[in-house]
Amino acid sequence: MKGYREILKDFEAISGPIEPYAQVLRKYAEKLQEWDDFFAKAFYDRLYSYEGTAKVFREGEREEREEALKIWYRKTVSGDYDDAYWEWQYMGVGIAHVARGIPNEYMLSAMSFVQRAFMVKVKEEFPPDEAAAIYEAFKHITDAIAVLIAAGYMYTYLKAVSESTGMSLQLIDRHAVLVAKSLKESR
């Protein structure tokens, strides 16, 4: 399986480099970090309002979850990304979603919500040209994060299948290709 560095290398080759967007976020980080309460509340209001996502939470944990999201948000809009940050997105966040039974479609939908909420907020707070540049930077970085989280999630599942069946990850990959071909042909 690929490590987070290789995944980010692929992401940058396909979607564009991260550093120019990180520079934009660094420039505006102080102002953007002030919005952490807004994002935590909006995010969890949304997740708690939908039955499918609300059921993954334990009684009384909302405050803890909001604090964790604020940390993630502040670090993400800081524009300062080291190896520990990317590793956290890849394995930490992805594994946390698996451990809680949160499917990737929920994670990707939630990231879409965060991106749209950020766009609305940045358009309210900045002139149009600046807002567009800041949003583009946030979108690019959070797209990279979504890729890493989804990859970490998939790796965790594949590792579980490998360990429980004794099949190598390579054999699972080959079998998945065969199943995909079979499903495609049966349509």
CATH number at 76 reads 1.10.490.10
CB 152 within 8 A of CB 159: no
**Segment 99-115, tens digit of pLDDT:** 888 999 999 999 999 99
CA-to-CA distance for 164 and 92, rounded, in angstroms?
Answer: 22
Quickly state the pLDDT bin for 92 (edges 50, 70, 90). confident
Burial tier of 118 (Cβ tally within 10 Å: 0-12, 13-18, 19+): buried
Query: pLDDT over 70 for what percent of the chain?
Result: 100
CB 89 within 8 A of CB 141: no
Q: Which two tokens stand for residue 146?
A: 């979504």
pLDDT score of 23 more than 90: yes
Residue type, 71: I
**Segment 146-175, tens digit of pLDDT:** 999 999 888 888 888 999 999 998 998 888
Stated length of the chain:
187
Residue ranges making up the domain that contains 51: 4-185
CA-to-CA distance for 135 and 114, rounded, in angstroms?
Answer: 11
- Domain total for the chain? 1
> What is the enclosing helix (H) or strand (E) of 10?
helix 4-15
CA-to-CA distance for 49 and 12, rounded, in angstroms?
Answer: 35
Minimal CA–CA distance to 22: which of 147, 136, 149? 136
Mean pLDDT of the chain: 94
The mean pLDDT value for 65-79 works out to 97
Locate tokens 């944990």: which residue?
Answer: 61
